[in-house]
Amino acid sequence: MSFRLSQRDKDIIGFINQFRAVDRDSLVELFFKQLKSPINACNSVMVRLYRLGLIERTQQYSPTVYLPIDAKIKKNSQKILHFLSILDVYKQMYTYSVPKHVTVEDKPTGRKGGIEPDLFCIFKGSPFWIEIQRNQYSEQKMQAKINLYEEFFFSDEWKALHWQPEDRSAIFPSVILITPIRYAVNSEHIRIIQVASIHELMEKYKISSKQTKEVRPSASSSGIKIHLT
């Protein structure tokens, strides 16, 4: 059977492969919202791609969630909710600026037992590793997670990561904890940002940016000191 895929078809398949689980409404928002009947158009495209055997789907959720054809997760797995939460963070970023070098479940150390952030991306010119905490953990467990980032920082291996700039010094990403709970974690070597959402991050940045314009920055200045240009 021969068929021709449009560039949008290829982009959708690639996006599903990248994020592992993508709900219908997210596809509408990212690929079809400019059309007159975006939901109908999305449904039509996704049914065609499914019947062609190019994607999988699960109707355990409403609206339908689409999966890669070789998905290694069960169609009723709680892991799907994990991937959807990563997608939600990406979509929040997308409303401000398209993230670059996006990697879902990044494994920058290349070995077991190292850091495994839920998401890596360069957002508004700055690199971030993002940890999405859907459940509550102990302070000790969260600090242990931060300690792994510090261990990687001291290894210097991060300086050779493929996304590092070629024309200036290597940058160690800030670590964003997406969590409704504030944990008493700390590090003298890496920047840790705790927010409930990317929207909260951007609101804090706006406040910080405004304060920077109004007063000369000092060591005690409040607000998030990250490069989000």
pLDDT in tens, 137-178: 999 999 999 999 999 999 999 999 999 999 999 999 999 999
Greater model confidence, 164 or 78: 164
The pairing of strands 65-68 and 22-23 is antiparallel
Interval 7-22 mean pLDDT = 98
pLDDT in tens, 83-128: 999 999 999 999 999 999 999 999 999 988 999 999 999 999 999 9
Give a three-class secondary structure readout of 128-168: EEEEECCCCCCHHHHHHHHHHHHHHHHHCHHHHCCCCCCCC
DSSP SS3 for 21: coil
Q: Does the structure show a pLDDT above 80 at 11?
A: yes
- Distance, in Å, from the CA atom of 92 to the CA atom of 169, rounded to the nearest integer, reads 29
- Distance, in Å, from the CA atom of 161 to the CA atom of 53, rounded to the nearest integer, reads 35
Task: Supply 52's token pair.
Answer: 């062609």
- Closest Cα to residue 102, out of 214, 184, 20? 20
Residue 226 has a pLDDT of 57
- Distance, in Å, from the CA atom of 198 to the CA atom of 204, rounded to the nearest integer, reads 10
Mean confidence (pLDDT) of the chain: 90
Sheet holding 65-68, edge to edge: 22-23, 65-68, 55-58
- Distance, in Å, from the CA atom of 5 to the CA atom of 48, rounded to the nearest integer, reads 10
Beta bridge partners of 119: 104, 130
- Distance, in Å, from the CA atom of 187 to the CA atom of 129, rounded to the nearest integer, reads 15
pTM score of the predicted model: 0.89
